[in-house]
Amino acid sequence: MKVYDLLWKKTEDEKTGKARWEKVGVLIEKEEGKKSIKLDLIPAANWDGWLVVAERKPKEDFFSKEPEIDLEPF
């Protein structure tokens, strides 16, 4: 199973041009190829409708503790 973070570009610094990203949820990909999305929030202000899927860094291991909700929508 692979877990990816879903991010949206919240703002962009006018001076440096660097983007500020906010995590809005996760995409879970199972061994058999099924994918599920769990949204924690929906971006509102200035959102263009696009989300970025980014590989989760090891220190943010999603399953290091038991999930509090059932992530089995299939």
Any domain includes 62: no
Count the domains in the chain: 1
Any domain includes 74: no
Any domain includes 12: yes
How do the pLDDT tens digits run along the chain, 74 residues long?
A: 999 999 998 888 888 888 888 999 999 999 999 999 999 999 887 888 899 999 987 665 545 544 444 444 44
Residue 5 and residue 56 in contact, taking contact as beta carbons nearer than 8 Å: yes
Taking the CA of residue 73 as centre, how many other CA atoms within 13 Å lie in the half-sphere pointing to its CB?
Answer: 8
pTM above 0.85, yes or no: no
Q: How many CB atoms lie within 10 A of CB 43?
A: 17
Owning domain of residue 19: 2-57
Any domain includes 42: yes
Any domain includes 28: yes
